[in-house]
Amino acid sequence: MASASENSTANGTVNGTLLGAVPAHDWWEPQSFEVALVLALVSTACWGSWSNTAKAAADRVNFAHYYTDFCLGTILVALVSFVGPGHLHLGGPAVDLSKIGFAVAAGSVFGVANMLLTTGIAVAGLSIAFPLCIGTGLVLGTLLTYLVDRRGQPALIFPGVFLALLGVVANARAYGLLQRQRGQDAGRKASNPDEASTSEAEESAYISESSTSASDSDAAPGAAASGAATQNIVLCVVGGVLMGCWSPLSAHSMKGEEGLSPYWSFVCFTLASFAVGLTILAGQQCGLSVMPRVGAVTSFGEYFTISPALHGWGLLGGAIWALGTASNLVSGGSLGYALSYALGQTAPIVAVLWGLGWYREFDGAPRQAVMFLVFMFVLFLAAITLLCLGGR
């Protein structure tokens, strides 16, 4: 009868690790609910903050180049995490390497979803794309992930998700009202270009992905526009459905004793997302993509003419997003993947704080927009409270 060591070697690993020198299950993970909760909230902060780099690069870097650097930044952080706290572990002693397929599928789905979200914001606007994409992704992602990993108290988690969804809608409504007023002001001041100039990037740079995952450079000048409102809505809804599918796939790749370590799962995720994103970008530049292009046409050669400092914005943005996602996946091992995902998707509250405090985005905003913002904060804080209680 073959020994456990021989069986592991037959699978191409020793004790689930590339080098075989580290004991099984020796990757770092939080050992208490409190530490895991803090880690999940780190993902909230990162998912709500990385888009500041997109704003900084919006007028100086083509979106295709920024997004390429963004993906490279995610891969770099994933690899560093895998070597460091991940200790080069693929999984435990019973790891089933076929689960790599679920991690690759999660990254591929996210790659398509993020590009659809990007395009949806560009052609439909924040007030339409954000609730459709992020709202659908939040609800569907939490529900499907809970079906994969049923930890937590659904009687508290799902009401929390519903409040977060209302917060997303209130957020989008506030931005819609702000944009409407700025449009009216621009019309009244058309005779004075200096007073009328308000960049579209400023109006949209404070909404985060998630997951997710929204890019605030999505509204950069040169974004292609769709002429059909129905097509725009379908684009946003499909993006939201796909955005809600990557989390359960990722959770399944890490589930059980045969699951991958969160660090190796994330490496596979980022590599797949990069491949899909690069394929879509290449198709858009050649006019072969099924979705409108964001940004002007560019070339692979032009990518290498950009200064290192400008490349740094995309790399930094990807690194911040990846730090948040890695934190979310690792915390899910202790909290439950549905809860950690839902907490991470409350990131818009952080993005709005950046807009209010640093960019002064809502200075002079209409009173109704401010009221929707206050309502949003109340809803998100209530949602976070219920989600935290639901993890107990």
Q: How far is CA 84 from CA 222, 263, 354, in A?
A: 41, 9, 31
Spatial separation of the C-alpha atoms in residues 96 and 260, rounded to whole Å: 7
Provide the terminal-to-terminal Cα distance of the chain, rounded to the nearest Å.
43
pLDDT at res. 191? 60
As a three-state string, the secondary structure of 28-59 is CCCCCHHHHHHHHHHHHHHHCCCHHHHHHHCC
Residue type, 335: L
- Which one is predicted more confidently, 31 or 110? 110
The angle at the Cα of 70, spanning 219 to 142, to the nearest 5 degrees, equals 80
pLDDT bucket at 225, cuts 50 / 70 / 90 = very low
The angle at the Cα of 345, spanning 354 to 180, to the nearest 5 degrees, equals 50
Residue whose tokens read 């689930």: 16
List, for residues 156-205, the tens digit of each pLDDT value: 999 999 999 999 889 888 888 888 888 887 777 776 655 444 444 444 44
Q: How much is the mean pLDDT over the chain?
A: 83
pLDDT at res. 201? 41
3-class DSSP assignment, residue 106: helix
List, for residues 233-270, the tens digit of each pLDDT value: 788 889 999 999 999 999 999 999 999 999 999 999 99
pLDDT at res. 126? 61
List, for residues 269-324, the tens digit of each pLDDT value: 999 999 999 999 999 888 877 778 888 899 889 999 999 999 999 999 999 999 99
| Burial (Cβ within 10 Å: 0-12, 13-18, ≥19) of residue 304 | exposed
Look at the pTM and tell me if it is higher than 0.95: no
In contact, 185 and 22? CB cutoff 8 Å: no
| Burial (Cβ within 10 Å: 0-12, 13-18, ≥19) of residue 184 | exposed
Q: What number is the average pLDDT over the span 24-49?
A: 89
List, for residues 135-152, the tens digit of each pLDDT value: 889 999 999 999 999 999
